[in-house]
Structure 1
Amino acid sequence: MRGLSFEIPNRYGQYLLDILNAFDFKNYFWKTGGEEAYYIENDQLGSPLFPKPHVYTGDAFYKRISESDYYVLFADLKAFPDPLHVRDFTTYEDFLNSQCEFVLLLVDCSYVTIYAKDPQVLTLLYEQAIASKYENVAYITDDNDSRTTFEIF
């Protein structure tokens, strides 16, 4: 198993928190970059959820995704156990050779792709996606992975 894919509803909420609550995501440093996501203010898109590429502590990342509703158009989130080894990469092989433990890509407001090195985390995320009634939940394997890069644009 490489990862997991599924579809979330195309509306605002706290979907990143719902997805990530399946495991202890606050133990990581989260690299953001290339997101287009906004807090909802007065039922409209407001300030950016992630104003610029940044590395957040787990607690700071939790605060951003749990304090208010938001709408995510695109997201590229990567989790590292140590901030000293945070780096960019674009392929699955680069992911395997990096210190990154977890990648969450969200495209077109609904399409979520997750890669994780820990199979137990993938199982927890799968169960969370099913319990949340997300659509088209499926494991990504060596045989069915059509993604050639980890880029969202």
Structure 2
Amino acid sequence: MRGISFKVNNGLDNYLYPILSNLDFNDLQWFIDEDEVYQYNTETKITGNFFVEHILNGASLLTKIMNEPHYIIFLNLIGFTDGYSPHVINNYNEYLSNINCQIVVLVCDSIFVDIYCKSINDIELIKKSVVMMGCSDIKYITDENDIYKTFDF
């Protein structure tokens, strides 16, 4: 099993926190490779880019996705073991061969989410969260059904 894919309800904002909140963020350094994520105010007006910094520690990312209103168009978010210098991971083979890269979160067209994760336990925690959120088309990503040749959009 490589990971999990699912579809979030269109118009659902701030969904990263409930999906990822059960994971141990403190042990990861996060790299935002590609993104079109917008911050907005209470009148739902876009106020700017959500991610100004492209490297965040686990606590900072968790606080940001929990407390700041945002809307994702696309996102490539990569979690590395803390203390390791984050960098671009282009495809599944690079992800698999890099022992410090633990998780890759890909969001496309606001609603399609694919998460590659080396921990089977974490995949199950993510599945539990997305089921509770009412996400659809939930399926495990396997060698047989993986559609991505590269991780960029």
Common topology (TM > 0.5): yes
Partner residue of 1:4? 4
Distance verdict in 2 for CA 1:82–1:26, change over 3 Å: closer
2:80 counterpart of 1:72: no
**1:60 matched to which residue of 2?**
60
1:17-56 matches, cutoff 5 A: 17-41=17-41, 42-52=43-53, 54-56=54-56
Tell me by how many angstroms 1:83 deviates. Answer: 3.6
**Structure 1 range deviating more: 100-109 or 4-13:** 4-13
Task: Show structure 2 runs of 5+ residues with no match.
Answer: none
| Letter of the structure 2 residue corresponding to residue 103 of structure 1 | V
Instruction: State the match for 1:115 in structure 2.
Output: 116
Q: Matches of 1:49 and 1:26 in 2, distance apart?
A: 21
Instruction: State how far apart, in whole Å, the 2-side matches of 1:133 and 1:119 are.
Output: 21
SS in 2 for 1:129: helix
Alignment partner, residue 103 of structure 2: 102
2:131 is aligned to 130
What is the identity percentage for the equivalent residue pairs of Structure 1 and Structure 2?
A: 29
The separation in 2 between residues aligned to 1:84 and 1:24, in whole angstroms, is: 16
Query: Structure 1: which 5+ runs fail to align?
Result: none
3-state SS of paired residue (2:51): coil
Q: How many residues align structurally?
A: 151
Give the ranges of 4+ consecutive aligned residues of structure 1 lying more than 6 Å apart after TM superposition: none
Q: CA RMSD in A?
A: 1.3
